């Protein structure tokens, strides 16, 4: 069982215990007061839960985030005077530098019911970055895109439903523009490339998208059309396979540079545990990857047998790396992203790289899911992406946070809207929760689409963690 699953199991157990205690208390109140009082209290309690306690937050908002950055990272001196954040005299920042500011944030009493926000103003790019309700600890703001405003002394920080405390610390990360290099994006499922890196790949000089699985399971939406379970899974997988090779064209990546490997959703861990064995689909009654590869622009070596095995997956990745010779590979983060297919996708790429002659110069890691906070990035669509929760700095990290213009954000939202897995409507329970949170907690959702990923990923920044690779080869 993954850590994410363990946390969810513990969370649900605690909720069941709390519900049992609440039911006992309501029964006592009904006996002592009146029969209808528990009903009213139960409805009010449910509304309060949906408004303020429904988030999956598996740590205390009072915990400090803990990050370690490489020791050579420049740390320009900054001071927070009132609302003004100022650099020391004579310090100038590189305009496209990734800027990370650490400071303590403490919510007001209202910040326990309304999301605490740090507002950035003073230049041409006002921003808002949102944190946990009840926050009281060290947090890391993303000031990327604010270098000119900060260098001119015009940047202002203002806490809304929170106060900014202590002396801030700034790090300035300078990177080459990876968009000018040959980029290969590894997507465990159709839509992962768009969620994590649409802005990057749509602006890259040359981008390739490699999707590992068809994403055919959990096809309840298609069963409602009258299909049986197998037919629904096959239809969903075929649609997502189509999405994986067609939607990137919206971002300027032709179908000839989009590959669907056709392995089966949530089966990568089992494949990895038995590398030579065929692992069939859970729901589609398929044991041949070629079923979902029909839209690929060229054949791969494993198309000779279509066996869904770990060894074939490694062979596919090695073949593609040698053929494409990417200078940058974009892939899930091995620690931040807990999805089992994402973890295995990263490990498969690293294992394949150990056997290839060609070596990329850079790996860019992303996280579309988190262990500890299902709402991250918190706040509204169109706002900035603060660094995610991390409570133990196990290793130095180097963030790269390229900015997306409003036009690129709209384009990214439209690419997500084309993805069939993000199109089904919300359940009644989720719709009610959103209505309650909109009225009582002040939360807003974008008009792009109902799926939560429209709020989480259509942002001012895309966030990657940079790992430089030794031994880069020249393209033949």
End-to-end CA distance of the chain: 44
Report the C-alpha gap between 319 and 358 in whole angstroms. Answer: 10
Question: Which pLDDT score is estimated for 404?
Answer: 97
State the average pLDDT over residues 15-34.
76
Q: Across-strand partners of 141?
A: 101
What would the DSSP string read from start to end of 61-74?
TTSPP-----TTS-
Cα atoms in the 13 Å half-sphere on the side-chain side of 215: 21
Q: Name the nearest CA neighbour of 160 among 101, 87, 83.
A: 83
The SS3 assignment for 86 reads strand
For 213, phi then psi, to 5°, come to -120, 160
pLDDT at 1 over 60: no
Q: Using the 8-state DSSP alphabet, how is residue 110 labeled? A: G
pLDDT in tens, 134-193: 999 999 999 999 999 999 999 999 999 999 999 999 999 999 999 999 999 999 999 999
Strand order in the sheet with 328-332: 258-263, 206-213, 182-187, 328-332, 362-366, 464-468, 399-400
Q: Across-strand partners of 209?
A: 185, 258
pLDDT in tens, 253-291: 999 999 999 999 999 999 999 999 999 999 999 999 999
pLDDT in tens, 302-323: 999 999 999 999 999 999 999 9
The SS3 assignment for 385 reads coil
Tokens standing for residue 104: 């303590």
Report the C-alpha gap between 245 and 310 in whole angstroms. Answer: 22
Report the C-alpha gap between 216 and 368 in whole angstroms. Answer: 19
Report the C-alpha gap between 45 and 129 in whole angstroms. Answer: 29
Cis peptide, bond prior to residue 377, ω within 30 of zero: yes
pLDDT in tens, 78-129: 999 999 999 998 788 998 999 999 999 999 999 999 999 999 999 889 999 9
Q: What percent of the chain has pLDDT over 90?
A: 84
């Amino acid at each position: 069982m993954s850590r994410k699953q363990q946390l969810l199991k513990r969370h649900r157990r605690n909720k069941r215990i709390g519900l049992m205690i609440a039911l006992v208390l309501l029964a006592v109140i009904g006996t002592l007061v009146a029969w209808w009082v528990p009903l009213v209290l139960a409805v009010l309690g449910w509304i309060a839960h949906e408004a303020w306690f429904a988030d999956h937050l598996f740590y205390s908002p009072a915990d400090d985030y803990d990050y370690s950055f490489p020791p050579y990272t420049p740390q320009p001196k900054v001071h927070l005077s009132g609302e003004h954040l100022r650099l020391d005299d004579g310090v100038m920042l590189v305009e496209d530098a990734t800027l990370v500011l650490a400071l303590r944030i403490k919510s007001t009493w209202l910040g326990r019911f309304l999301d605490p926000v740090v507002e950035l103003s003073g230049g041409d790019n006002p921003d808002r970055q949102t944190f946990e309700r009840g926050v009281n600890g060290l947090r890391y703001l993303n000031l990327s895109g604010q270098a000119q405003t900060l260098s001119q002394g015009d940047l202002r920080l203002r806490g809304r439903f929170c106060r900014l405390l202590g002396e801030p610390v700034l790090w300035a990360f300078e990177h080459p523009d990876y968009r000018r290099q040959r980029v290969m994006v590894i997507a465990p499922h159709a839509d992962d490339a768009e969620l994590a890196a649409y802005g990057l790949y749509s602006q890259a000089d040359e981008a390739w998208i490699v999707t590992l699985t068809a994403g055919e399971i959990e096809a309840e939406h298609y069963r409602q059309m009258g299909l049986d379970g197998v037919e629904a899974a096959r239809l969903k997988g075929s649609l997502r396979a189509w999405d994986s090779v067609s939607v990137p064209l919206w971002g300027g990546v032709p179908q000839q540079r989009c590959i669907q490997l056709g392995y089966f959703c949530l089966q990568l861990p089992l494949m990895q545990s038995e590398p030579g064995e065929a692992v069939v689909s859970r729901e589609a009654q398929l044991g041949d990857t070629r079923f979902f590869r029909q839209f690929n622009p060229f054949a791969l070596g494993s198309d000779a047998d279509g066996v869904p095995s770990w060894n074939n997956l490694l062979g596919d990745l090695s073949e593609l790396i040698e053929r494409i010779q990417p200078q940058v590979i974009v892939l899930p983060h091995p620690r931040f992203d807990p999805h089992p297919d994402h973890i295995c996708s990263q490990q498969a790429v690293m294992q394949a790289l150990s056997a290839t002659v060609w070596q990329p110069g850079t790996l860019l890691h992303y996280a579309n899911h988190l262990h500890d906070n299902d709402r991250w990035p918190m706040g509204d669509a169109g706002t900035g992406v603060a660094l995610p929760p991390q409570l133990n700095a196990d290793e130095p990290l180097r963030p790269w946070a390229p900015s997306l213009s409003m036009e690129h954000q709209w384009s990214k939202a439209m690419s997500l809207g084309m993805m069939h897995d993000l199109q089904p409507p919300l359940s009644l329970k989720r719709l009610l929760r959103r209505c309650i949170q909109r009225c009582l907690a002040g939360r807003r959702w974008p008009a792009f689409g109902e799926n939560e990923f429209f709020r989480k990923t259509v942002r001012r920044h895309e966030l990657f963690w940079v790992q430089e690779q030794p031994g880069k080869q020249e393209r033949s």
